């Protein structure tokens, strides 16, 4: 339940989908994007950690996901970690997603089709229309796409991201003006009375160990113990690097501290209140207000590489679709509630990029078992359009396409109905730029009008 002590302020995932990649309600998140168990740490410093993930589940040996052959005996944590989100039903995939599905999709899609503002070197490589088989051939000698090669490519890129030009780095190289006097004072607090350096050892600004900060009850998250099975590891989590931490909006593995002042308050109290196996290094942090300000300046500013902050080479990157499109897609207009005063949910967050074999549009939160019609038209209806008191968002005179389905879910139960229309999109450039307007009409016998409606959605082909 939202607003209770066990809430995680972690990283967002995807809407729950079954093994056929059709929407299905999640017990906790319904048809909203799922939330992962923990806040995602930065991968920029990942190359220096012998184990990755907050709970150490990536220990450094990397096996071929298809053959189980050991490809890297040690030092392969980046490779191992890079593949896990692809099949994860919370992070990127759906229930039962397989590598065969992923490889088949990569064989046909356009690289970076969802991104804009490509860095110059990426744009140059893709300028000739190269697809993934050609790119894999250039990198590995033949066009075969395999999970292991995907891992090698991702991890190799991640190892090029070395954030070693922060003010602290330049100060260590002999430039006394690289850090301000206030930051130098903060560094002295960090290494002195603050005792921060005991766990965040300068250089990497982590000791790469796992420690229990007493943040959450063990029943909610066992940390390293979930990986090792060792009782002594209960509640322990990887100590992250503090490099570029000033660019983060949330802190610690649960993500609940949304400002650095809250972090200082947490350590001023000696860490969390869950004492079982709490690390003995955690002692109340007693600082003056001036020292707190100095420490904050050092951690948030002197450890930030300006290339990372300004996203310049090698930290330049494209603009992702998620940064340009609302999380629920391009929705517009009002819907009309049905049984139980439940408003049918328009599920239209999947991009309509040409060649997308996984394109889908769905509806949820409607009357279970009810018939449903998807309206697809070339124009939106004028604002305020209604038919028999039901809000209509698609211009019925724009030659709409009608798709009739029946909702799943417990028959007659308010909010239990849902369905998905899956339609692989042809890779036809002639479709680029076309915009369709969509809306679900639920034929709901539980309301006087006999129907409910979702909001409208724009489907933009590109």
Q: Which residues of the chain have pLDDT under 70?
A: 1-6
* Distance, CA of 164 to CA of 168 (rounded, Å): 9
* Distance, CA of 91 to CA of 80 (rounded, Å): 16
SS3 65: coil
- The predicted model scores a pTM of 0.92
In the numeric block, the tokens 């309600």 are attached to 25
Three-point CA angle 244, 85, 323, nearest 5° = 55
Do 357 and 24 contact (CB within 8 A), yes or no?
A: no
Q: What is the pLDDT of residue 9?
A: 83
In the numeric block, the tokens 């970076």 are attached to 112
Domain layout of the chain by residue ranges:
46-107+145-159, 167-310, 325-460
List the structure tokens of 385.
Answer: 């359009």
Q: Which of 127, 85, 93, 94 is nearest to 110 (CA)?
A: 127
Q: What is the pLDDT of residue 1?
A: 58
**Burial of residue 192 (number of CB atoms within 10 Å: 0-12, 13-18, 19+):** exposed
Beta-strand pair 371-377/386-387: unpaired
Has domain 325-460 been given CATH number 3.40.50.2300? no
Q: Which of 58, 75, 52, 66 is nearest to 147 (CA)?
A: 66
Q: What is the largest distance, in Å, between two alpha-carbon atoms of the chain?
A: 78
The sign one gets for the Cα dihedral 221, 9, 214, 183 is positive
Tell which CATH classification among 1.20.120.80, 3.40.470.10, 1.10.760.10, 2.40.50.140 matches the domain 167-310: 1.10.760.10
List the structure tokens of 237.
Answer: 């989590």
410-446 burial string, b = 16+ CB within 10 Å, else e? eeebbbbbbbbbeeebeeeeeeeeeebbbbbbbbbeb
Q: Which of 365, 349, 332, 355 is nearest to 432 (CA)?
A: 355
Q: What is the pLDDT of residue 400?
A: 80
| β partners of residue 332 | 456
Do 439 and 433 contact (CB within 8 A), yes or no?
A: no
Q: Which of 71, 68, 103, 99 is nearest to 84 (CA)?
A: 99
Beta-strand pair 210-211/70-72: unpaired
* Distance, CA of 417 to CA of 412 (rounded, Å): 8
Q: Render 247-270 in DSSP notation, one character per residue.
A: G-SSBSTT--B-SHHHHHHHHHTT
Q: How many CB atoms lie within 10 A of CB 280?
A: 7
List the structure tokens of 444.
Answer: 């709901």
Q: What is the pLDDT of residue 34?
A: 95
Q: Render 96-145 in DSSP notation, one character per residue.
A: T--HHHHHHHHTTSPTTTT-BS--HHHHHHHTT---HHHHHHHHHSS---
Query: Where is 427: in which H helix or E strand?
Result: none
* Distance, CA of 62 to CA of 81 (rounded, Å): 9
- The 10s digit of each residue's pLDDT in 142-173 is 999 999 999 999 999 999 999 999 999 999 99
Helices (H) and strands (E) in the chain, counts: 11, 15
């Amino acid at each position: 339940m939202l607003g209770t002590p066990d809430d995680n302020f972690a990283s967002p995932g995807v809407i729950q989908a079954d093994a056929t990649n059709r929407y299905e309600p999640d017990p906790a998140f319904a048809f909203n994007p799922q939330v992962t168990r923990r806040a995602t740490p930065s991968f920029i410093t990942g190359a220096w950690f012998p184990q990755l993930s907050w709970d150490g589940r990536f220990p450094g040996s990397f096996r071929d996901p298809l053959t189980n052959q050991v490809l890297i005996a040690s030092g392969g944590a980046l490779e191992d970690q890079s593949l896990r989100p692809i099949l994860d039903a919370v992070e990127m995939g759906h229930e039962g997603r397989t590598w065969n599905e992923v490889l088949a999709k990569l064989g046909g899609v356009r690289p970076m089709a969802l991104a804009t503002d490509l860095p110059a070197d990426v744009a140059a490589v893709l300028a000739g229309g190269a697809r993934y088989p050609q790119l894999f051939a250039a990198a590995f000698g033949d066009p075969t796409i395999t999970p292991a090669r995907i891992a090698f490519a991702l991890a190799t890129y991640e190892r090029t991201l070395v954030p070693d030009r922060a003010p602290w780095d330049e100060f260590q190289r002999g430039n006394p003006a690289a850090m301000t006097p206030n930051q130098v004072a903060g560094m002295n607090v960090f290494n002195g009375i603050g005792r921060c350096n005991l766990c965040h050892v300068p250089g990497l600004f982590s000791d790469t160990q796992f420690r229990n900060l007493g943040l959450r009850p063990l029943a909610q998250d066992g940390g390293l113990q979930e990986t090792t099975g060792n009782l002594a590891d209960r509640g322990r989590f990887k100590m992250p690097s503090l490099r570029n931490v000033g660019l983060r909006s949330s802190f610690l593995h649960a993500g609940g501290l949304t400002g650095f002042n809250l972090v200082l308050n947490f350590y001023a109290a000696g860490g969390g209140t869950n004492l079982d196996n709490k690390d003995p290094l955690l002692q109340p942090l007693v600082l003056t207000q001036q020292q707190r300000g100095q420490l904050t300046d050092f951690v948030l500013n002197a450890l930030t590489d300006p290339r990372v902050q300004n996203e310049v080479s090698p930290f330049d990157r494209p603009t992702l679709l998620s940064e340009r499109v609302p999380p629920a897609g391009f929705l517009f207009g009002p819907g009309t509630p049905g049984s139980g005063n439940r408003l049918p949910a328009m599920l239209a967050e999947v991009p309509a990029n040409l060649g997308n074999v996984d394109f889908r549009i769905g509806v949820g939160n409607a009357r279970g078992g009810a018939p449903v019609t998807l309206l697809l038209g070339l124009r939106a209806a004028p604002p305020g359009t209604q038919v028999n008191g039901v809000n209509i968002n698609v211009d019925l005179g724009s030659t709409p396409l009608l798709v009739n389905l029946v909702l799943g879910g417990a028959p007659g139960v308010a909010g239990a109905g849902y369905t998905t229309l899956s339609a692989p999109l042809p890779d036809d450039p002639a479709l680029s730029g076309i915009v369709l307007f969509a809306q679900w009409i639920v034929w709901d016998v539980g309301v006087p009008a006999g129907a409910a409606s979702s909001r409208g959605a724009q489907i933009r082909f590109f």
